[in-house]
């Protein structure tokens, strides 16, 4: 359903992404892992059409993001890091606005808003303005706008960063509930996120893929059987590892 093909991105002399390729099929939750500055967000922005690649491309349900950007974006639900919302709108008003942007009108738009409010557990705050919400509820509103059109591909950048344990539990439950019918990519540097929800994980560093496998397969590559130890050994250079040891 989603395929990244040799994506590269340079900013002047800086090579942020250096030829990343992967596939995600329906029913998979892919954890896209790496330290800060590894190229995670840049890759997500290229896949979703927010940033043009220097070379390479991505296909979303058969639509090339460069040749058919509108068709590809219709297939994507995107939750960027620190997703913007209109703080003075109510929850239901904001979601109605998003539904109209997505092309829904009248009863269909109202049905979409009602469905996503239930799906994201927003019933209690539907009449509140977004600026009065806790961070956890704001994140659910951002999640709701990403799935209001029921996209087959869902891409999320750090979806639980900064949330408390209870808020993380709710967001992860929403992700798992939607997983059967969608291809989902979660960009994260939080390793517990991978164990909690992901069926497969990529580890990237300096813009390259360093490992690809299920969480259990990746753990077996570490002598300790711990994902954080594998992450450390792959993403820290030998000089940095020697300094830290």
Answer whether residue 145 is part of any domain: no
The first and second tokens of residue 12, run together, are 């002047």
Query: Rounded to whole angstroms, how far apart are CA atoms 48 and 136?
Result: 24
Average pLDDT for 84-97: 93
> CA dist 42 to 37, 39, 60, 96, Å?
9, 5, 17, 29
Whether 170 is covered by a domain: the verdict is: no
CB contact set of 61 (below 8 Å; sequence gap of 6+): 1, 2, 72, 75, 152, 153
DSSP state of 223: T
Residue 197 near residue 186, CB atoms below 8 Å: yes
Q: Is residue 29 part of a domain?
A: yes
Question: Coil, strand or helix: which one is 99?
Answer: helix
> Does residue 104 lie within any of the structural domains?
no
More confident residue, 201 or 37: 201
- Does residue 111 belong to any structural domain of this protein? no
Contact 171, 160 (CB under 8 A): yes
What's the pTM value of the predicted model, to 2 decimals?
0.89
- Evaluate whether residue 124 is within a structural domain: no
Q: Which residues pair with 73 in a beta bridge?
A: none
Specify the number of domains making up the chain. 1
Residue 23 lies in a domain: yes
| Residue 49, φ and ψ in degrees, nearest 5 | 85, 10
DSSP 90: B
Identify the pLDDT of residue 96: 96
Question: For the segment 198-239, what is each residue's pLDDT rounded down to a tens digit?
Answer: 999 999 999 999 999 999 999 999 889 899 899 999 988 543
Residue 85 confidence (pLDDT) above 90: no
Domain extent for 57: 1-75+152-159+176-184+194-245
Q: Is residue 98 part of a domain?
A: no
Residue 242 has pLDDT above 90, yes or no: no
pLDDT of residue 82: 76
Domain harbouring 223, CATH code = 3.40.50.300
DSSP-based three-state secondary structure for 123: helix
């Amino acid at each position: 359903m989603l395929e990244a093909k040799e994506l590269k991105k340079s900013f002047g002399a800086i090579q942020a992404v250096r030829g990343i390729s992967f596939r995600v099929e329906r029913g998979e939750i892919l954890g896209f892992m790496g330290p800060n500055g590894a190229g995670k967000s840049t890759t997500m922005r290229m896949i979703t059409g927010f940033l043009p690649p220097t070379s390479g491309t991505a296909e979303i349900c058969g639509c090339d993001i460069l040749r058919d950007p509108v068709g590809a974006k219709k297939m994507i639900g995107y939750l960027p890091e620190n997703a913007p919302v209109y703080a003075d709108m109510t929850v239901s008003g904001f979601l109605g606005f998003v539904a109209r942007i997505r092309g829904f009108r009248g009863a269909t738009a109202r049905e979409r808003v009602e469905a996503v409010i239930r799906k994201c557990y927003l019933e209690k705050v539907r009449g509140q303005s977004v600026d009065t919400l806790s961070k956890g509820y704001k994140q659910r509103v951002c999640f709701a706008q990403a799935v209001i059109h029921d996209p087959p591909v869902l891409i999320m950048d750090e979806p639980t960063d900064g949330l408390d344990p209870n808020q993380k539990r709710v967001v992860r439950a929403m992700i798992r509930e939607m997983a059967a019918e969608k291809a989902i990519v979660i960009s994260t540097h939080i390793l517990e996120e991978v164990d909690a929800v992901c069926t497969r994980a990529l580890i990237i560093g300096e813009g390259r893929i360093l490992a690809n496998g299920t969480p259990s397969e990746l753990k077996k590559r570490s002598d300790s059987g711990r994902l954080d130890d594998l992450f450390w050994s792959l993403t820290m250079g030998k000089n940095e590892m020697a300094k830290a040891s």
